[in-house]
Amino acid sequence: MKKSKLRMLVSLLLIPVCMSASAVGCKKKTTTDAPPPPDPGGPEEQITYTDDGAQRLMSFEAVEELLQSAAISAAQSKVELNDDARYISDGGKSAHMRMNQVKNTSGYYDNSLVQLLCNTKYLKKADFSDVEYLGLDIYNNSGFKVDFVLKASKWLILNRSTLDEGWNRIQIYLDRTTADFSKITVFDLDFKGGGADDKPLDVYVDNFRAYLTQTPAVQYVQDLSGENWYTFKNMREAYAMYDMGGFESVFSMPRMSINRNTDYILTGDASLKVEFCKKRNGAMDTSSVRTADNNLGDLNRYVGAENWYIAFDIYNATNEHIKLSSTVFSNYNDERYGISAQIAPHSWSNPAETRIYINDLKTNFTGEALNVLTVVFAFGLTSPGTVYIDSIRMAK
Ligand SMILES: [Ca+2]
């Protein structure tokens, strides 16, 4: 893959963040000091708490609350106020979301997305760094199970659930060591479910709430100063591994998590588990991941030294032979250098085949300094499967 294409993918990944930011937080500054126009919605809502001590975020009690706080992506989806007590878990109303969209070419209804915009009148909170848990109640009235994903600020996946029929009381722990929760712009509620013979997806959402904590957030800091760059002992390092974009939806994008099973660890006490999925039409979605932009140690201190190389270990937990392609992209135009390796099913990569020597990078990249953008790991899977990446590091 050319770097220009890589850049394009990166840009595409960033666009939704910018869009949501502009939709939510980027109020244009005016040059006058005129007071803001009066709010037609009346006085500000006061912060209230549920019986179990959670701060109410949204209880979906008014049409204005839906209009001002919820944005719906699927054109034929509907969000309306419900007053049927069977589908209310807090207050006197809830949000009824019906995904009446068209079937796609696979005979499934397309995924549906409902966004709850932060820093708005009805969801005033944007700083979630004092939140230990979020709570959300969803009544699945579809007649079939529904896959659900909750994302924050377009990229941070907080929860994956399968919604059974009836009430699903979802509790979402916020691991505040892994990410900065102080400026959340939007929550995305993604729903998937329903085949050609089913009726459209039908859910009620209520009682979005936050359980606060007095314990300050202490974020994990990735240490790139030494030889061990990616130890994967904290999800923050998993978040520093990117998917390659272009996946069908949040439901088939590569799923990254921290693995502690020693069967899949060679160094330290953790590795990165990456699960690759298929699309709804049965074809494989992308099976590549990469390091975040400019998120490696300083390679120039190894230039001229003997035989240093970028090292990593990969476990192939699939039933197929993997032809691994590992490519280093420079920040200069289209410069890249990579290696290939075969990995047998249920086996570790051969350490001798996965070395990317600094001397070879230096030979293939122009200029005196090594200016590396990213390392891409492409697996070329033909069916769903899991790989483990362990210890991206320097060695000699
Ligand atoms: Ca309610």
Cα 206 to ligand 1 centroid, rounded to whole Å: 5
Domains and CATH numbers, the chain: 46-212 (2.60.120.260), 220-395 (2.60.120.260)
Report whether pLDDT(25) > 80.
no
| Radius of gyration in angstroms for the set of CA atoms belonging to the chain, rounded to a whole number | 24
Instruction: Provide the pLDDT for residue 114.
Output: 86
Strand (E) or helix (H) holding 17: helix 3-24
Which has more pLDDT, 78 or 115?
A: 115
Strands (DSSP E) along 217-343, which ranges?
A: 228-230, 241-243, 255-259, 271-276, 288-291, 309-316, 322-330, 336-343
Cα 148 to ligand 1 centroid, rounded to whole Å: 20
Q: Residue 70 half-sphere exposure, CB side, CA atoms within 13 Å?
A: 29
Residue 333 DSSP label? T
Report whether pLDDT(26) > 90.
no
Cα 205 to ligand 1 centroid, rounded to whole Å: 8
Which has more pLDDT, 116 or 77?
A: 116
pTM for the model stands at 0.85
Task: Give, as residue ranges, everything with CB less than 5 Å from ion ligand 1.
Answer: 59-60, 90-91, 94, 206
Cα 192 to ligand 1 centroid, rounded to whole Å: 23
Cα 100 to ligand 1 centroid, rounded to whole Å: 23
Query: Hey, what are 27's tokens?
Result: 């109020």
Average pLDDT of the segment spanning 74-102: 85
Instruction: Provide the pLDDT for residue 30.
Output: 33
Instruction: Provide the pLDDT for residue 193.
Output: 87
* Among the listed residues 63, 58, 56, 101, the one whose alpha carbon sits nearest the alpha carbon of residue 82: 63
Query: Hey, what are 57's tokens?
Result: 């975020």
Long-range CB contacts (< 8 A, 24+ apart) of 39-46?
Answer: 39/121, 41/68, 41/121, 44/121, 44/124, 45/121, 45/122, 45/124
Report whether pLDDT(40) > 60.
no
Report whether pLDDT(19) > 50.
no
Cα 89 to ligand 1 centroid, rounded to whole Å: 6
Instruction: Provide the pLDDT for residue 72.
Output: 63
**Chain segment 218-239, per-residue pLDDT in tens:** 999 999 999 999 999 999 999 9
Cα 176 to ligand 1 centroid, rounded to whole Å: 28
| Helical segments of 44-196, H only | 63-69
Cα 70 to ligand 1 centroid, rounded to whole Å: 14
pLDDT band with cut points at 50, 70 and 90 for residue 7 = very low
Length of the chain: 396
Instruction: Provide the pLDDT for residue 67.
Output: 79
Strand partners, 342: 323
**Chain segment 350-379, per-residue pLDDT in tens:** 999 999 999 999 999 998 889 999 999 999
Given the DSSP bridges, would you call strands 55-58 and 201-212 parallel, antiparallel or unpaired? Answer: antiparallel
**Chain segment 301-343, per-residue pLDDT in tens:** 999 888 999 999 999 999 999 999 999 999 987 899 999 999 9
Average pLDDT of the segment spanning 383-396: 97
Which has more pLDDT, 63 or 167?
A: 167
Helix, strand, coil % over all residues of the chain, rounded to 5:
15, 40, 50
Cα 210 to ligand 1 centroid, rounded to whole Å: 15
Beta-carbon count within 10 A of 213 CB: 14
357/309 Cα distance (integer angstroms): 4
Report whether pLDDT(14) > 90.
no
Cα 160 to ligand 1 centroid, rounded to whole Å: 23
Instruction: Provide the pLDDT for residue 101.
Output: 65
Cα 153 to ligand 1 centroid, rounded to whole Å: 24
Report whether pLDDT(104) > 90.
no
